Amino acid sequence: MSGTEELVGRLARVHDRELAGQASATGARALLDSIVSGPGEAPALRRRAWGARVAVGTAIAGTLVAAVAFGPGVLRGGGATSYANSALDISLEGGRYVARITDPFADHRKYTEAFQAVGLDIRLRPVPVSPGAAGTILGRMITMRGAPDPGPVEPAGPRIGGLALTMDTSPPGCRPGRDDGCVMVMRIPAEFTGTVDVRLGRPARAGEEYADFDRAMAPGEMFAGVRLGDGRPVAEIAAEARRRGLTTVFSLVRTDPAGGGLSFEPLPAGRVGAGWTVWNAWQVKAGVIRLLVTPDRLKRNPFHNGSAPPPGS
pLDDT tens readout for residues 137-174: 887 666 655 444 444 434 444 555 545 678 888 998 88
Q: How many CA atoms lie within 13 A of 142 on its CB side?
A: 17
pLDDT tens readout for residues 120-142: 999 999 999 998 888 888 876 66
The overall average pLDDT reported for the chain is: 74
Residue 31 confidence (pLDDT) above 80: no
pLDDT tens readout for residues 42-84: 333 333 333 333 333 333 333 332 222 244 444 344 558 999 9
The H or E element that residue 136 is part of is none
Query: In angstroms, rounded to a whole number, what is the distance separating the alpha carbons of residues 214 and 216?
Result: 6
Q: What is the pTM of this model?
A: 0.63
| b/e per residue 166-200 (b: at least 16 CB within 10 A) | bbbbeeeebebbeeeebbbbbbbbbebbbebebbb
Residue 299 confidence (pLDDT) above 90: no
Give CA separation, 240 vs 88, 98, 167, 220, 248, in Å.
41, 44, 35, 16, 10
pLDDT band at 238 (very low <50, low <70, confident <90, very high): very high
pLDDT tens readout for residues 109-119: 999 999 999 99
Nearest to 155 by CA among 187, 191, 120, 133: 187
